[in-house]
Amino acid sequence: MTSEAIRERLKGKTVGIAGCGGLGSNAAVALARVGIGKLILVDFDRVEASNLNRQYYFRDQIGQPKVEALKQNIHAIDPEITIRTHMLRLDPERLVELFSGCEVIIEAFDTDCDKQMIIETVLTDMPDRYLISGQGLAGFGDNESIVTRQYDRLFIIGDGLREVSDGLPPLAPRVGVVAAMQANLALELLMKNE
């Protein structure tokens, strides 16, 4: 299948990005580059200097809402993509409301409680939606520990082990691997679904 044919197929597809940090910003950009039709970006945070070691933002965007900065960056790559932005903290009700039109949702939250909330909500209240969660991405090296595990409509990508801490920071290469795997799986699911 040619790159153009893939682009054509993706035109009518929507992906939800829950959290626009290291995972979400990089996964969104990867999907934008292959020609996704529409992205729903949700994040409550603003760009900080400490984010630039891994997140898809630039120095002159510090202080901007992440969802707006990411929209700008994606439109600089492809102005045709439809992007909806929501600067808020997701709760179960808003999650269902904002992502109901998404075939695939990428879970890219920072905290374990937000991860638990989105998994429980999507599996219970959003039938037929795929959820791709990123878990275990801290530090560097150890490529071969990063795997995809499937539980029906839920996929978990990462090493399943290493939590972010002061001594085990999130860094561009390893976070990028997980984000790219999330985007790659999203693409596979979207291409399978007619």
Partner 1 sequence: MEITLNNRKENIEREPISLAELIDYKNFSFKLLVTKVNGKLVKKEERDEVMIRPGDEVQVLHMISGG
Footprint of partner 1 on this chain (CB under 8 A)?
19, 21-24, 107-113, 115-116, 119-120, 123-124, 134-138, 151-152, 156, 158, 160-164, 170
DSSP 81: S
> What CA–CA distance (Å, rounded) separates 135 from 154?
12
Which CB atom, from 15 or from 138, has the smaller least distance to partner 1? Answer: 138
Instruction: Return the structure tokens found at 186.
Output: 């999203």
- Smallest gap from residue 159 Cβ to partner 1 (A): 8
Report the chain's C-alpha Rg in angstroms.
15
- Smallest gap from residue 112 Cβ to partner 1 (A): 4
Confirm if 79 and 35 have CB atoms less than 8 A apart. Answer: no
Which CB atom, from 140 or from 151, has the smaller least distance to partner 1? Answer: 151
Which CB atom, from 160 or from 173, has the smaller least distance to partner 1? Answer: 160
- Smallest gap from residue 181 Cβ to partner 1 (A): 14
Give the helix ranges, DSSP H, for 48-171.
Answer: 66-77, 92-99, 112-125
Residue 103, φ and ψ in degrees, nearest 5: -70, -40
- Smallest gap from residue 29 Cβ to partner 1 (A): 15
Beta strands in the chain (DSSP E): 14-18, 38-42, 82-86, 104-107, 130-134, 147-151, 154-158
> What CA–CA distance (Å, rounded) separates 18 from 82?
17
DSSP 29: H
Which CB atom, from 48 or from 120, has the smaller least distance to partner 1? Answer: 120
- Smallest gap from residue 132 Cβ to partner 1 (A): 12
- Smallest gap from residue 2 Cβ to partner 1 (A): 33
